[in-house]
Amino acid sequence: MIKRGKIIALLLGIFAALILSSCATETQEYYISDDYAVADDEYDANYENPDTDIMQAVFTGVPIRRDELLWQEGRHGEWEQDIRYFAVMVLRNHPLLQSFDSLGRMAIIEREVVDYPRVVHDVLLQRVANRNMILSDDADYIIYELRARFTYQVNSLILNIPYLSDYELMFGLSSIAAILGDAHTYVSPAAEYTFPVRVRGLYGGFYITTVPRDLEHILYGKLVAINGVEFDEIISRARKTFPYENEYGLRYQLMPSIFAINIVLYYIGVTDSLHVADFRIIDVHGETVDIQIETMKRDDFTNMSDEELARYQPMLKDSRVEEHFWHEHFPDENLMYIRITRFTPSQELNMARNELREKMRDWQYGDTTRFILDLRGNPGGHRDAEWPQAGDIRMLNEIAETVYLLIDGRSTSMSVNMASAMINNIDNLIVIGTPSGQPPNFFSGPVGNLANTELRYQIAHGMTINSTSEDVAIRPDIIIEATIEDIISGHDAVLAFIRGR
């Protein structure tokens, strides 16, 4: 049964569409290109000052002050301010919503590529147009349509603020960001509760890899359905709510985290309760298990001790979980293994990088000639933490007979930058694993928190260009996918392949 509030919200959405279409008839060009434009260039600095913050009114384009918002006070006004702020920043800054010629030079971050930014912009724009069923190859028309759809949904969400819950507004804003198909432009949902399971996307499906001890009988089980909704259908529903850039990032990075968050499953209509759901699982013996699982506080689950958890057998790459950058030498195999789980600047990182460089200088005469850089599961991070840098690449070219680069569908952002730099500049490089969760060329920008709701967000301000490839992912030279049997036994098939060469 549809809730009364949702019926009202639906009617208001239809009402909003009628108003918008009548406004667009008279001032269509203005509405699509200029609605939500900021009246001065000091918007960011003035956001915290309600006396100077000037924005455009819903539908009309009439400049209004913050105290003249459609919903002026309390919870409604706070949500409107945050929704408007996010919309304004996206419309002003996102490269997909501007023509290439209007982009400032700072919006283009070139990485060893010359005279290619316009092609990258056109390719990424066409990719998002296809996903939104905009059947055109005219860049100006695509931008016009994307701005229209983005602004229409923002306006509709603002109109419905009083009739939607906080979680519906939160995911509504996430759905608006999803229009752009950009993993660096998002609103991150806040979730206090979760189902106490951790899930991994592996060859053959999605599997449970960590549970509390009282659920140990479903450890390593393959997830089949939640509340009778099969996983392909869950993925289909999630596509409209969360930004992603390729199928590998969707299935191996995004979806495993979504499956366990009760409020997400509730929003996309998989569950009808915020506190419990029925999971269907095929266990390690091949038997079908139907089990009802209750939610728990996310922090409580995260902070459970090793004694309280049943989890997978850690491999070498998982053996030093507290360190973001570390290396291990295998002198008998003429091999150096370098693991980076996240590009996070720190004093410990600098020490580890310098130690590695000293060892590499000592090995210039042949002590170690095989190197592995493992970026599997690395979601990115900060440029200040990058490795290898230019000097490291020169040294690898001098001393390495073979460099192995390991990536998978959870390798994104800064790890894609590093992978691209190695592909472009290291002579004897072999890429092994599965395709990356992001294309080699993508958008990027700073992160922040919305002022009132404190939701974490990111808005892309520029294009990161790493390659002349127009592919949707970095593809390994040798494909090796992890299986649930590998996870159970602690067997790293990629490392085993390399060490057996």
pLDDT band at 209, cuts 50/70/90? very high
pLDDT at 36: 33
pLDDT at 303: 94
Cα distances (angstroms) measured from residue 26 to each of 19, 36, 140, 148, 223 = 11, 18, 20, 15, 52
pLDDT at 212: 97
Domain with CATH 3.90.226.10 in the chain: 316-438+473-499
pLDDT at 2: 38
Residue 461 and residue 444 in contact, taking contact as beta carbons nearer than 8 Å: yes
Residue 161 and residue 79 in contact, taking contact as beta carbons nearer than 8 Å: yes
pLDDT at 21: 34
pLDDT band at 60, cuts 50/70/90? very low
Domain with CATH 2.30.42.10 in the chain: 193-311
Q: Residues 236-247: pLDDT tens digits?
A: 999 999 999 999
| pTM, full prediction | 0.85
Work out the average pLDDT over 241-263. 92
Of residues 275 and 365, more confidently modeled: 275
Q: Residues 114-126: pLDDT tens digits?
A: 568 888 899 999 9
The whole-angstrom separation of Cα 68 and Cα 214 is: 54
57 has pLDDT over 50: no
pLDDT at 66: 55
Q: Please, what's the b/e burial string for 429-448 (b: 16 or more CB within 10 A of its CB; e: otherwise)?
A: bbbbbbbbbbbbbbbbbeee
Which residue type is seen at 14? I
pLDDT band at 30, cuts 50/70/90? very low
pLDDT at 498: 96
10 has pLDDT over 50: no
pLDDT band at 189, cuts 50/70/90? confident
CATH superfamily label, 316-438+473-499: 2-enoyl-CoA Hydratase; Chain A, domain 1 (3.90.226.10)
pLDDT band at 258, cuts 50/70/90? confident
Angle at Cα 441 formed by Cα 437 and Cα 446, nearest 5°? 85
Q: Which residue has the tokens 């105290």?
A: 67
Q: What is the DSSP string of 411-432?
A: --THHHHHHHHHHHH-TTEEEE
pLDDT at 110: 63
Instruction: Choose the CATH number for 193-311 among 3.30.450.20, 2.30.42.10, 2.60.40.2470, 2.40.50.140.
Output: 2.30.42.10
65 has pLDDT over 80: no
pLDDT at 88: 87
pLDDT at 113: 60
Work out the average pLDDT over 51-74. 52
478 has pLDDT over 70: yes
Most confident of 109-118, 365-374, 448-457: 448-457
Which residue type is seen at 440? P
pLDDT band at 7, cuts 50/70/90? very low
pLDDT at 253: 93
Residue 484 and residue 111 in contact, taking contact as beta carbons nearer than 8 Å: no
The whole-angstrom separation of Cα 28 and Cα 20 is: 9
Report the share of the chain in percent with pLDDT over 70. Answer: 84
Q: Residues 316-335: pLDDT tens digits?
A: 999 998 899 999 999 889 99
Q: Please, what's the b/e burial string for 185-194 (b: 16 or more CB within 10 A of its CB; e: otherwise)?
A: bbbebebebb
Tokens of 328: 């291990």
Work out the average pLDDT over 85-89. 89
11 has pLDDT over 50: no
Range in 55-64, 175-184, 287-296, 407-416 the model is least confident about: 55-64
Tokens of 119: 């092609």
Q: Residues 90-141: pLDDT tens digits?
A: 998 999 999 988 887 667 776 656 568 888 899 999 999 999 999 999 999 9
pLDDT band at 371, cuts 50/70/90? very high
Q: Output the average pLDDT for the chain.
A: 84
pLDDT at 115: 67
9 has pLDDT over 80: no
Among 440, 396, 445, residue whose Cα is nearest residue 418: 440
Using DSSP, state whether 341 is helix, strand or coil. coil
